[in-house]
Structure 1
């Protein structure tokens, strides 16, 4: 089985944001997300691979394949096209929350936003909390 490349690495999160985020808005939004996710999860930010900032972790085992590994409870990445939010776990009620979130695009495992001002922070907070609670319960 191939080795999973997305795992905790010893890279400075703040320096990563200052060098990787390509606009002042994305830098400011990233530092807001750092504070928000740290408060909600209770974990310090850690780089996962070269471009994901994660908070806490859980060990998963796929129900459909032999794949297993570790992944952040919540996280984000200030990518060039949009900020990728790793805060959706398919938890009960999350689809309804997405209807209230604001302007975003949905990927397979993440939510893409251009800037935090495009979404409702109160709904984002509920999404993060519901994901963390769901993942802790499912993979405890």
Structure 2
């Protein structure tokens, strides 16, 4: 069975974020680092070469495939900030319309700039997503 390609690497989160060239992604990356660390109580870890993750959970599909994944996290990609785990909780449906300018797709939330969204709503999405995957879906 294929192993999950995106795993914790042990690389430095601060070095990764410091190397982000895009000034808005750089600034927003460090703000998300602070926000997610505070909300989850977890220390950040690099997952693969570009995802900053906080906590993890174990998944198992009916097909038998299983592995560990980031509970919540983000990646300051060139086109936008990709936020992971924030749309999984049942509260997301009520919170997303209040977030501000964003897009969703394939389990991700995409934001161009943090200033485009309501940070209080973003914090609730982080809290709800983290709680959902670590209590409902269970952590390892």
- Give the Å deviation of 1:95: 0.9
Structure 1 stretches of 5 or more lacking a match?
none
Report the TM-score when normalising by structure 2: 0.93
Alpha-carbon distance in 1 for matches of 2:94, 2:32 = 22
Q: Secondary structure at the match of 2:58?
A: strand
CA contact (8 A) 2:92 2:125 kept: yes
- Render the CA deviation track for 1:1-39: whole Å, top value 9, x for unaligned: 1121101002111111122x2311111100000000001
**Correspondence for 2:68:** 70
* Alignment: residue pair count: 138
Superposition misfits of 4+ residues, deviation over 2 angstroms: 87-90
Where in structure 2 are the equivalents of 1:1-140 lying within 5 Å?
Answer: 1-19=1-19, 21-62=20-61, 64-140=62-138
Alpha-carbon distance in 1 for matches of 2:113, 2:87 = 21
Alpha-carbon distance in 2 for matches of 1:28, 1:84 = 14
Structure 2 stretches of 5 or more lacking a match?
none
Report the TM-score when normalising by structure 1: 0.93
RMSD of the alignment, in Å?
A: 1.2
